[in-house]
Structures are given as structure tokens and as C-alpha cells.
Amino acid sequence: MAADGEGRGRAAIGPSREGPAAPPATRYYGGDRSGARSAAGGSGGSSPRANAVTVNTRAFRVLVRNALFHRVKLAAFGQYDELGALDADSGWDASAWEEVLDGYFELHDEIGTGPDARGSGLLIIDERPGSWAVRQIFDDPAGDHDWGISAVVDLAASDEAGSAVLRITDVGQL
């Protein structure tokens, strides 16, 4: 386990702390049913709902997965300021993230960031009308899979933003 001024955790697989920063978690363009992607929101004659990022459920699930896994990578590398910048509006500022992840790192030396960590088996999505309840489970070295990030995805806000809009509800052990 690393202990420096920037954070405590180290990822099992992934870039070094000195590597390039990952892109923001919620800066993705949505696609329409045809698979076309547009930063402008599609063709001029389409209804607003037809251009909504949530219309293509499969593509939107990828956006949600990317947004959550971005947070996993930031947590693995102890990037608490970046986590706080993403989630302060949900009550998860840098100190809240650091405090809860200190508990994780007392039990485990790392948060996995490899293919297994990103796999669908560690992501739970409960699709409900208007919002999705999601949980991204951490790939810990012991294989306990009892820590993770819980959030609510606001579908209307996501359509308006053109990206997955998450509100973190919990980070911790089940």
C-alpha cells in the first residue's frame, strides 16, 4: 500500500499516478437508435426524446458503467480531490471520499482496475422508471466483493445533459 500526500490506494492494474489523468466521467455523447453519434444532438427535425441519451438503453448502460468505473479508478489511485469535484453536489467531497476509503484500505492493499474489475459481474443496475439504482462493486484482492459505490442515475437529467448524471448515495461495505 502506498502512503503519500495524494492518497493511500494503489490499483492492481492501471496507469501510474504520474500518468495522464482520465477524462471526466460524465462527458460522453449519447447515440440515437441508428448508432449515429452527434455532439449537436442529432438531426434538426427529430423530437427531443428521439435524441435523448437514454433512448438507446444499451449505449446508456455503457455511459453509466464508464462514469462509475471512472470513480473506481480515481479511488484506486487515491485521487480524492477529483472524486470530490465530481460528487460534492451529492455530499461526497474529497474528505468524505478519503474518510470512507481509509476504511477500505485498512482491510485491503488495493482496488483492482483490470478487466475483472470492469466486468459486468461487479455492476448492479436496477432500472426503474425515472431513475436507475446502481452499485459498482470493488474488485478487492481477497475477492470479498463487499465494498462499492452506490448511486442513483437521474434519467431526465441525463437526457438534458447528454451524459449519465449520477448522484452518489453511499460508498462503503455492504
User: pLDDT tens-digit profile of 3-13?
Assistant: 344 444 434 33
How much is the pLDDT for 47?
A: 55
Cell numbers of 127, please?
432500472
Provide the whole-model pTM.
0.73
Q: What count of residues does the chain have?
A: 174
How much is the pLDDT for 133?
A: 98
Task: Give the tens place of pLDDT for each residue, 70-119.
Answer: 999 999 999 999 999 999 999 999 999 999 999 999 999 999 999 999 99
How much is the pLDDT for 24?
A: 40
Between the alpha carbon of residue 171 and those of residues 41, 58, 72, 101, 149, the distances in Å are 33, 25, 11, 8, 4
Task: Give the tens place of pLDDT for each residue, 28-81.
Answer: 333 333 333 333 344 444 555 667 999 999 999 999 999 999 999 999 999 999
How much is the pLDDT for 123?
A: 97
How much is the pLDDT for 51?
A: 75
How much is the pLDDT for 60?
A: 97
Domain ranges of the chain: 29-173
HSE-CB of 75 using CA atoms within 13 angstroms: 36
